[in-house]
Amino acid sequence: MSVEDLKSFAQALLKGQEELMRSRADDKYITVAEAAKLLKVTKVCIYNWARKGIIKPLKAGNRTLFSKAEIEAKLEKGIIKTK
């Protein structure tokens, strides 16, 4: 492996990391109430899905938040069913 190969590899890693950071910065987090409204289910249902690992909660102090992008992706894949 040459020095140029290592440089190209390092640049590709940095570019991938920058894209990942940018996508996370664009990700919107929503509350339990907002998730329930989006999915047309109760807040209890949202908490149950979080407890079962269907959707991953993010704890911010005493608040529970969810990635809107993750919820929408699971909705598209049929993992989450709405009423």
CATH code, 3-77: 1.10.10
Residue 78 pLDDT: 87
Q: What pLDDT is stored for residue 12 in this prediction?
A: 82
Amino acid identity at 67: S
Per DSSP, helices labelled H in 1-83 are 3-26, 32-39, 43-52, 68-77
Tokens of 63: 């608040």
Task: Estimate the crossing angle of helix 32-39 against helix 43-52, to 10 degrees.
Answer: 100
* Token pair recorded at residue 67: 């990635």
Q: What are the tens digits of pLDDT across the range 16-57?
A: 766 655 555 557 999 999 999 999 999 999 999 999 999 999
DSSP character string of 2-19: -HHHHHHHHHHHHHHHHH
What's the whole-model pTM score?
0.65
